[in-house]
C-alpha cells in the first residue's frame, strides 16, 4: 500500500497566520491527492482534490499544491473556525490516508 | 446538498457480524458515475478505506479486509450497507459512509461524508 506521511503532527497558530501542512507519499502518485478537514463529531469535509483544485464552497484561503510525491496544503489568513484535523488521502492506488495534522487556534 | 447518515449497533461481541446501513438523502444513489464507500478510523490510527459499492451492485474491497467484507446497495431505499464478519477488538472504530466522485477529473475523491458511527467490539 502507498504510505502517506503528514507533517507536522500538530501545530498551534493565531488568527490571521499562514500555515502549511505537508504530505509525502511513499511513491509517485501524480496528482491523485486530496485534502480533508475534520472536526470531532462532524462529517469530514473535502477541501482540495487532485492536489490543487478547490472544492466548491470552500473558502479561497485554502490552497493545495504539489505533484508526484510531495504535496502541501496552505491556509492563509487563518480563522478561528479552521481549528481541526487535516488529512491527506491518495486515490492513485487503493485509497489510503495520512495520519493527520491537528491545527489548534491560539 | 447530499446528506449521508450511518446507522447500526454501537456494541458488538467478538466473532459476531457487524451490519451498518448508510441512508442517502438529497440525491439519488443510482447515479452511475458515483460509488459509495465505507471508511473507518480505529483509535490512534489513520483512516482506512474498507471498500466501494456501485449502484449496479459491483463491489471493490480493500484486500486486507476482503475476506470478511460484504457491501450491497438498495436503490429503492437509497441506502447502501456494510457487513463485516468475524469481528475482533481490532475492528473497534468509527465507521463512516461516503460518496466517491470524480466529476470531470480522472482523480477520485470523497466529497460527501456521514458523521460516522462508533462501533465497539468487546466481550
**How large is the average pLDDT for residues A68-89?**
98
CB contact at 8 A, B73 and B106: no
B111–A55 C-beta distance less than 8 A: yes
B49–A42 C-beta distance less than 8 A: no
The reported pLDDT for the residue numbered B71 is: 98
A98–B111 C-beta distance less than 8 A: no
The reported pLDDT for the residue numbered B33 is: 79
Tell me if residue B86 falls in helix, strand or coil. coil
Q: Find, among A63, A59, A53, A57, the residue nearest to A91 by Cα.
A: A53
- Quote the CA–CA distance of B123 and B101 in Å, as a whole number: 38
CB contact at 8 A, B96 and B8: no
Render pLDDT for A10-39 as a digit per residue (tens, 0 to 9): 999 999 999 999 999 999 999 999 999 999
B62 and chain A in contact, CB less than 8 A:
yes
Smallest CA–CA distance from A94 into chain B, residue: B62
- Quote the CA–CA distance of B96 and B115 in Å, as a whole number: 7
Which residue from A45, A51, A95 is facing B49, i.e. has the nearest CB?
A: A95
The reported pLDDT for the residue numbered A60 is: 97
Average pLDDT taken over every residue of chain A: 97
B43 and chain A in contact, CB less than 8 A:
no
Render pLDDT for B69-78 as a digit per residue (tens, 0 to 9): 999 999 999 9
Top residue of B42, B47, B65, B117 to mutate, by most chain A CBs within 10 Å, is: B47
Q: What is the 3-state secondary structure (H, E, C) of chain A?
A: CCCEEEECCEEEECCCCCEEEEEEECCCCCCCEEEEEECCCCCCEEEEECCCEECCCCCCCEEEEEECCEEEEEECCCCHHHCEEEEEEECCCCCEECCCEEEEEC
Tell me if residue B115 falls in helix, strand or coil. coil
B63–A49 C-beta distance less than 8 A: no
- Quote the CA–CA distance of A33 and B88 in Å, as a whole number: 31
The reported pLDDT for the residue numbered B82 is: 98
- pLDDT band of B105, cuts 50, 70, 90: confident
Q: Which residues pair with A85 in a beta bridge?
A: A38, A102
CB contact at 8 A, A61 and A74: no
CB contact at 8 A, A23 and A4: yes
A–B: how many Cβ contacts below 8 A?
56
Query: Which strands sit side by side in the sheet containing B69-74, from one edge to the other?
Result: B3-7, B18-25, B79-84, B69-74
Amino acid at each position: 500500500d502507498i504510505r502517506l506521511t503528514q507533517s507536522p503532527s500538530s501545530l498551534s497558530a493565531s488568527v490571521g497566520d499562514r500555515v502549511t501542512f505537508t504530505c509525502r507519499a511513499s511513491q509517485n502518485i501524480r496528482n491523485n491527492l486530496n485534502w480533508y478537514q475534520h472536526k470531532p463529531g462532524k462529517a469530514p469535509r473535502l477541501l482540495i482534490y487532485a492536489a490543487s483544485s478547490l472544492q466548491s464552497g470552500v473558502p479561497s484561503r485554502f490552497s493545495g499544491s504539489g505533484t508526484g510525491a510531495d504535496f502541501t496544503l496552505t491556509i492563509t489568513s487563518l480563522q478561528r473556525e479552521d481549528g481541526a484535523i487535516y488529512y491527506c488521502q491518495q486515490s492513485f492506488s487503493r485509497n489510503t490516508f495520512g495520519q493527520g495534522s491537528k491545527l489548534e487556534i491560539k | 446538498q447530499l446528506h449521508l447518515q450511518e446507522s447500526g449497533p454501537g456494541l458488538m461481541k467478538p466473532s459476531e457480524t457487524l451490519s451498518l446501513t448508510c441512508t442517502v438523502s438529497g440525491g439519488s444513489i443510482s447515479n452511475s458515475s458515483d460509488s459509495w464507500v465505507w471508511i473507518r478510523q480505529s483509535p490512534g490510527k489513520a483512516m482506512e478505506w474498507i471498500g466501494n459499492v456501485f449502484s449496479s451492485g459491483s463491489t471493490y474491497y480493500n484486500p486486507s479486509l476482503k475476506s470478511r467484507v460484504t457491501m450491497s446497495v438498495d436503490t429503492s431505499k437509497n441506502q447502501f450497507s456494510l457487513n463485516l464478519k468475524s469481528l475482533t477488538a481490532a475492528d473497534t472504530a468509527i465507521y463512516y459512509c461516503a460518496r466517491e466522485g470524480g466529476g470531470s477529473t480522472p482523480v477520485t475523491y470523497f466529497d460527501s461524508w456521514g458523521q460516522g458511527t462508533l462501533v465497539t467490539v468487546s466481550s
